[in-house]
Structure 1
């Protein structure tokens, strides 16, 4: 499975009206009395130790199924975890194609399983006020692995930014020891060096390079996205002092003074749009890749292999796919593919803020379970223990893989990992056949060493280049909304965002003259932009006062 970026949710209200679920067993102040719900829990559970329930229990789990990775009950992933922990999963499956919608319906109807994985920050917002999910901040004291790695990896401030209007947070994210953009530019390094004079460090340098490549390969449109522009605008926007594409979020960002402004009406956003409009006007952009659906990556891959595209949006997995395509056209050894740090721009050599990856929520009905504490311990082990993270990625030590004295991991000869083109001669794919490296759990918490263990040496170079040469933008200050405000914000934000998306693409493709920018901003204002901005800044001020 490739790293898959799902669009960040700004404000959502669960369909059908989020229903409050069963009352928690609590000690009078709304919190679960964990000591009385400790069946199966370990008395001496601590960080970096194996969790094994003192008696077996079953835990219901929501599983998102990718079309190319159908789940099977016989996966070693399930049997091995049950063997080690005494915890058996009872799985409810939803398809990846509409996973967010199906998940919302299940939660709203009170039918969701106990554990709801594959949750990105912000996706919990619409379930908070109904009491449908538990406030995880009330229970992290029972999760020693989580606490340890939040502290060691200096993530405390980011965790604080997860807080809702009541000062609590309702999901636990995947923790990353090092955070670099998953998607950025993947380029033909050899062509950029021989034709364009080197690797671009800024968007202006990229433009100069693309002009030279276009002159050498006149049939090419050397720059492509493949994700309806959402990927490229996401990682480009930060260099222009804006937010866009997948990273648009609520549309609100710090204006530099601690007040939030609407990014799509800002000078930085306009400058970004003008930049890409100039590339399109000069024939440097494969415009089809800005309008194709998200499954258009294959088309861009074919053009990359045919030397019609020389720089495109992608992840480390995309770089591997591009290399496979070039093997068949240019020939192995006759090219170099490189994932580069997102170029800098007018706002500096900056990239997206340091990020979490996907984590989980807990159905509030779990608070009635006599195995509540054991569940917390189990999830703390599964999501945050280094041994569990290695298990979820690689399988069983000395069976599917080995690990030398320096920590280097190698698949055993009989096993392969097709998703990363590892050991292709192996007869058993540890992902498809055994369930390891699955995208529900594997792409969550990672140390740097674990991240590097399955990626290519060029990806390690990419990590180094970002950490050495780019500065993550500071995260936007939190402005959590109360229940009534969430619905109001959603009603305001949705039509405004639709106007932004439509006109951003029109400006870039030349279907609307950039001279009409002020008219476009007036259209946003006519849809209630100022009311929306005031609403979010009001929430920001309230949060500051109460913190």
Structure 2
């Protein structure tokens, strides 16, 4: 299931060592060595760690002595990790930290991770953690309450304050008032998934770039009249992506963003189950209408795109002209259109359309961060571990290294901050310098899927994206309003277990009925029957748990 120490015996690069050592040596930021590890006092509060020196925000950091820490690495099939990845060598040269990896496949990473943590066999550092995924491990005491140690994470503290994220971080606190993961921080937060459209075709039929879902429907009707064999709108992610980014403008949540299903009803002053509110029904009615008119590629709501399958092929065949995706999808669609001999096209990533609830998008959000397993706090070099992870996830030097590699080797940066890959190097996934022969991701391990993109300044985010994506950021920031975050409602361990027993079958029912309603397999006149079905599965008891937790959190705040 896992193999530890996968990257031992990596080659060194003495040609670079002198420069790297000069950089870190000049600042003499030695780490700490606390024999106490992360022990706690009798009242459960974390002891102060005895660090020999303090780490400093925005400065290089290097352990005083060589350290080894363990990390859970997720393997992507398209980018298999190799012993020759320069990424790990560079990390070790700069920080004096060697990472010993336990590898798990992406295909079942969540399950494998949970098994390892529950069995007490997980490595110290657990990356790729999204907010909410830490709850079960926090409740069982399997991970470290990182909020106890934030004073040892100066980069994290600096950027949560500078980017106005302190309140959002506080919302991560669990029932005991502590938070157990630190997330990836984004200076600007825009929906990752939205609509990619063939703007040239919308122009051709006289349809403007859609500002609302109603605009989109009118444009799709015009396209259908011009291309009668097309089903012009597609998702490609079994509906999960499109329902997620559409839901906010209908006044609900859904798809990938459904989470625990709790929707804050401002008028009632309590949480209600999102799948039973008027906005959810209105959203399903809208998409069902598209399906009935032949405007929706229904197959894309039942089959996965598999990173470039059916929807991409339909885009190239001019059967689909608007589909879900991210900035990378623009490149995928463009490559497919080029291969099909279609060269006169314009692809645009548009801001998620507005709807009955307004021009609303998801709340400002975090990206993936990390947890530390409880055993990590027993490491005599726990203070170094905190400094190292703080550097890796939040220090601008590390974030640039992770995305671009080494300045002067893989890339250069001009006086205006523009990044350019050196002629021998490429980043094929983003079509950067496609004539290069060495892929910094596949061959060297930079821009890897475990760390890249986790924490980003706006400057770094824009550095590797095309101007059209920068325009997308501007459009969202200017013309869309992020929905306010919901009140926190952390559950204790017993409540988490109970909510899982109730919530899992409820969500299964919602997922099934959502597709049935959209695809016309279940008539919307049976909406009351659907709600009754949920009520029969213990919906009221489930919502009582959530509202009780919210009331408790409010009293304790």
Q: Determine if the TM-score, normalized by the shorter chain, exceeds 0.5.
A: yes
Given candidates 318, 324, 344, the residue that maps to 1:307 is 318
Q: Deviations over 1:362-402 (max 9, x none)?
A: 01111111111111111111100111100000000010000
Does residue 1:182 correspond to 2:196, yes or no? no
Secondary structure of residue in 2 paired with 1:35: coil
CA apart distance, 1:141: 1.1
Following the alignment from structure 2 to structure 1, what is the Cα–Cα distance between the partners of residues 306 and 446? 24
Q: Please state if 1:197 is matched with 2:211.
A: no
Distance change >3 Å, CA 314–CA 498, structure 1 → 2: same
Work out whether residues 227 and 296 of structure 1, in 8 Å CA contact, stay in contact via their aligned partners in 2: no
Following superposition, the deviation at residue 188 of structure 1 comes to 0.2
Give 1:528's match in structure 2, choosing from 513, 519, 538.
538
Q: Specify which of 515, 528, 533 is matched with residue 518 of structure 1.
A: 528
Q: Which residue of 2 aligns with 1:449?
A: 459
**2-side partners of 1:404 and 1:80: how far apart?**
22
Match of 1:328 in 2: 339
Q: Is the 8 A contact 1:353 1:473 kept in 2?
A: yes
> SS of 1:479's equivalent?
coil
Look up the match of 1:167.
177
Aligned length: 521
**Are 2:282 and 1:268 equivalent residues in the alignment?**
no
Aligned equivalents of 1:441 and 1:391: distance in 2? 11
Equivalent position SS for 1:117 = strand
Measure how far apart 1:197 and its partner are. Answer: 2.3
Q: CA deviation at 1:306?
A: 0.9
1:339 corresponds to: 349
CA distance in 2, matches of 1:119, 1:196: 44
Say whether residues 1:92 and 2:106 are aligned partners: no
Between 77-86 and 188-197, the greater mean CA deviation after superposition: 188-197
Which one has more relative contact order, counting CA pairs under 8 Å at least 6 apart? Answer: 1
- Note the alpha carbon deviations across 1:502-546, whole angstroms, 9 max, x for none: 111111100111001001100100111111111100110000001
Cα pair 1:24 1:30 within 8 Å, conserved: no
Would the aligned equivalents of 1:213 and 1:222 in 2 still touch at CA under 8 Å?
yes
Whole-angstrom CA distance in 2 between matches of 1:475 and 1:454: 29
Q: Deviations over 1:443-473 (max 9, x none)?
A: 2000111111111111111101000100000
Structure 2 counterpart SS, 1:232 = helix
Partner deviation per Cα, 1:9-48 (whole Å, 9 max, x = no partner): xxxxxxxxxxxxxx95233333443434x4xx6x142100
Query: What value does the CA root-mean-square deviation take over the aligned residues?
Result: 1.3
Tell me by how many angstroms 1:129 deviates. Answer: 2.1
Runs of 4+ aligned structure 1 residues displaced above 4 Å come to: none
What's the offset of the Cα at 1:298? Answer: 1.6
> Could you tell me which of 155, 162, 172 is aligned with 2:165?
155
- Unmatched 5+ residue regions in structure 2? 1-36
Aligned counterpart for 2:306 among listed residues 295, 309, 314: 295
Deviations 1:231-256 (A, max 9, x none): 00000000100100000000001112
Q: 1:211-250 deviations in whole A, cap 9, x for unaligned?
A: 0000000110000000000000000000100100000000
Tell me the TM-score normalized by structure 2. Answer: 0.92
Q: Corresponding residue for 1:362? A: 372
What is the alpha-carbon distance in structure 2 between the residues aligned to residue 187 and residue 70 of structure 1? Answer: 32
SS in 2 for 1:477: coil
Q: 1:408 aligns with which of 418, 429, 432?
A: 418
The residue aligned with 1:17 is: none
Does residue 1:48 correspond to 2:58, yes or no? Answer: yes
- Match runs of 1:221-232 below 5 Å: 221-232=231-242
> Contact 1:289–1:296 at 8 Å: present in 2 too?
no
The equivalent of 1:27 in structure 2 is 41
What's the CA shift for 1:193? 1.7
Distance 1:295 1:116 in 2: 26
Pairing 1:480–2:494 present: no
- Alpha-carbon distance between aligned partners in 1 of 2:345 and 2:139, rounded to the nearest angstrom: 54
Separation of aligned partners in 2, 1:453 and 1:440: 19
Gaps of 5+ in 1: 1-22
SS of residue in 1 equivalent to 2:98 = strand
State which of 422, 427, 432 in structure 1 corresponds to 2:437.
Answer: 427
